[in-house]
C-alpha cells in the first residue's frame, strides 16, 4: 500500500505526467501575461489571435490550472497565472540564453580553450601564443595549465584539457600531434669551462662532462639522457638535479657542471647570470620537436589545425626550424 499515493498522483500533475508544456505555449502565455490583451499579445509575438488563444488554453490543460480570467472587456491573470507567469518568463529567458550560447560556440575560436604546456616550453613560447590569440582570436578565452607530460596527457584524455603544447613524439593512443617546429639543444657551461662559447662541439664530448639534469618526470631530462646515450655515454651518473631550468642554470653558473638547454630557453635563462657561456653542437645538432597535441577526432580539430598553422607562422621569429620549412 505504500506505493498507492504515488500511483494515484500520475493523473494530477505527479512525476508520471506524459505531457509537457511547449515553448510556443509558454511564449503565448508570457505575452498575454505581459500585455493582458489577446490582440496586442498576438501582434507582439507574430501569432494569430486564435492560435494564441488556443496555445494558452492548451497550456492550461497541460498544467491543470486556470491561468487567465477572460471577460468581454479585458484579460486578467488568475492567482495561479500570476505565479506561473514568472516561471514561464524564467524558462523562456533560459532558453534564450541557451540559444545564444549555442550560436556563440558554433563560431570558431570562441569560448574557453584549456591549453596545457610543459614547464620547459611554457615560459618561452607562451608570450608568442598569448599574443597570437589576443590579436587574431579575441573571442577565445584561453586557460593555461603548466604541468609535466604525464599529467598533461591524463588531463587531455580525461577531458580536463583540450589541447597540449609539448615535446613529441608521445606515442599515446588516441592522441594526434600537430608538429610546430624543431629546435636545437645547446650546451650551457660556466665561464671557465673548456667548451664554453665554442661552436661545432662534437656530441662525443658529452661522454666526459658532468651533466646537470632536471628532476625525474620532466621530458627534457629524458631527452638529455637519450642524447647522451646517442653520443656513446652509457649510464649517466646524476648527483645534482633541479626542479626547473632557472635553478639548473644557476647551478651551472655556480660551477657544479654543465647542462643542455633548448634554444628557445637560452635567451631567458642565460640572461640571469654573467657567469655563463653557450656552446653549439656540430651538425646535426641534437634536437627536440614541439607540437600541439589533441584528442584524435576532437570536435574542434579543424580549429586546432588552423591554430597550429598560425603558430608556425608566428614562431618564425624564434630560433627554431618551423616544420615544413627546411625542418
How large is the average pLDDT for residues 76-105?
A: 85
Give the model's pLDDT for residue 238.
61
**What CATH number does domain 111-180+288-322 carry, 3.40.190.10, 3.30.300.30, 3.40.50.2300, 3.40.50.720?**
3.40.190.10
Burial class (CB in 10 A: 0-12, 13-18, 19+), 125: buried
Q: Does residue 236 carry a pLDDT above 70?
A: no
Indicate the average pLDDT of the chain: 86
Proportion of the chain above pLDDT 70, given as a percent: 88
Could you tell me which residue, 207 or 266, shows the higher pLDDT? 266
The x, y and z cell numbers of residue 270, run together, are 642565460
Domain ranges of the chain: 17-105, 111-180+288-322, 184-287
Which of the two residues, 207 and 305, has the higher pLDDT score? Answer: 305
Specify the pLDDT at position 234.
64
165 pLDDT higher than 80: yes
The pLDDT-based confidence of 96 (bands split at 50, 70, 90) is confident
**pLDDT given for residue 226 in this prediction:** 81
> In this model, does residue 3 exceed pLDDT 60?
no
Contact 105, 152 (CB under 8 A): no
184-287 folds as D-Maltodextrin-Binding Protein; domain 2 (3.40.190)
The answer to whether 64 and 12 are in contact (CB under 8 A) is yes
Mean pLDDT of 78-96: 91
Per-residue pLDDT averaged across 7-21, rounded? 55
The pLDDT tens digits for 223-235 are: 887 887 777 766 6
What is the per-residue pLDDT for 307?
A: 96
Q: Identical fold at 17-105 and 111-180+288-322?
A: no
What average pLDDT score do residues 200-228 get?
A: 82
Between 2.102.10.10, 3.40.50.2300, 3.40.50.880, 1.10.10.10, what CATH number should domain 17-105 receive?
1.10.10.10
Tell me the mean pLDDT in the region 56-82.
Answer: 90
Mean pLDDT calculated for residue range 80-97? 90
For residue 55, how many C-alpha atoms fall within 13 Å in the half-sphere facing its CB? Answer: 22
pLDDT of res. 53:
92
C-alpha angle 78/80/81, rounded to 5°?
60
With bands split at pLDDT 50, 70 and 90, how would you rate the model's confidence at 320? Answer: very high
Confidence check: pLDDT of 318 > 50: yes
pLDDT, position 133? 95
What confidence score (pLDDT) does residue 10 get?
A: 40
pLDDT in tens, 31-45: 999 899 898 999 988
> How far is it, in rounded angstroms, from Cα 16 to Cα 6?
9
Q: Are 260 and 281 in contact (CB under 8 A)?
A: no
Cα 296 to Cα 279: distance, rounded to the nearest angstrom: 39
Question: Is residue 68 predicted with pLDDT exceeding 60?
Answer: yes
Task: Read off the pLDDT of residues 249-289 as tens digits, 9 standing for 90 and up.
Answer: 999 999 998 998 999 999 999 998 899 999 999 998 889 99
Question: Rounded to an integer, what distance in angstroms lies between the CA atom of residue 246 and that of residue 40?
Answer: 71
This prediction's pTM? 0.69
From 321, 148, 318, 159, select the one nearest 244 (Cα to Cα). Answer: 148
What does the pLDDT read at residue 4? 35
Which range among 57-66, 108-117, 118-127, 176-185 shows the weakest confidence by mean pLDDT?
Answer: 108-117
Whole-number Cα distances in Å, 225 to 38, 151, 243, 284: 80, 21, 16, 17
Amino acid at each position: 500500500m505504500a506505493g498507492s499515493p504515488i500511483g494515484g498522483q500520475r493523473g494530477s500533475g505527479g512525476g508520471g505526467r506524459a505531457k509537457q508544456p511547449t515553448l510556443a505555449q509558454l511564449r503565448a502565455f508570457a505575452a498575454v501575461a505581459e500585455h493582458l490583451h489577446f490582440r496586442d499579445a498576438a501582434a507582439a509575438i507574430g501569432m494569430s489571435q486564435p492560435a494564441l488563444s488556443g496555445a494558452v488554453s492548451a497550456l492550461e490543460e497541460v498544467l491543470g490550472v486556470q491561468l487567465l480570467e477572460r471577460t468581454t472587456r479585458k484579460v486578467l491573470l488568475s492567482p495561479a497565472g500570476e505565479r506561473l507567469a514568472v516561471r514561464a518568463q524564467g524558462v523562456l529567458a533560459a532558453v534564450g540564453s541557451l540559444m545564444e550560447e549555442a550560436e556563440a560556440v558554433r563560431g570558431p575560436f570562441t569560448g574557453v580553450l584549456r591549453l596545457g604546456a610543459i614547464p620547459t616550453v611554457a615560459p618561452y613560447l607562451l608570450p608568442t601564443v598569448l599574443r597570437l590569440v589576443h590579436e587574431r582570436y579575441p573571442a577565445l578565452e584561453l586557460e593555461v595549465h603548466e604541468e609535466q607530460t604525464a599529467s598533461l596527457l591524463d588531463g587531455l584524455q580525461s577531458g580536463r584539457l583540450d589541447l597540449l603544447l609539448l615535446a613529441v613524439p608521445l606515442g599515446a593512443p588516441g592522441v594526434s600531434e600537430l608538429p610546430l617546429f624543431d629546435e636545437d639543444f645547446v650546451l650551457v657551461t660556466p665561464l671557465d669551462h673548456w667548451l664554453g662559447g665554442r661552436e661545432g662541439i662534437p656530441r662525443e664530448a658529452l661522454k666526459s662532462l658532468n651533466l646537470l639534469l632536471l628532476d625525474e618526470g620532466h621530458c627534457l631530462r629524458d631527452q638529455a639522457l637519450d642524447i647522451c646515450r646517442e653520443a656513446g655515454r652509457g649510464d649517466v651518473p646524476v648527483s645534482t638535479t633541479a626542479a626547473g631550468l632557472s635553478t639548473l642554470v644557476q647551478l651551472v653558473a655556480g660551477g657544479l657542471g654543465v647542462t643542455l638547454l633548448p634554444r628557445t630557453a637560452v635567451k631567458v635563462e642565460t640572461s640571469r647570470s654573467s657567469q655563463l657561456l653557450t656552446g653549439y653542437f656540430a651538425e646535426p645538432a641534437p634536437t627536440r620537436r614541439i607540437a600541439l597535441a589533441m584528442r584524435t577526432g576532437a570536435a574542434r580539430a579543424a580549429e586546432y589545425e588552423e591554430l597550429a598553422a598560425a603558430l608556425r607562422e608566428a614562431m618564425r621569429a624564434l630560433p627554431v626550424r618551423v616544420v615544413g620549412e627546411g625542418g
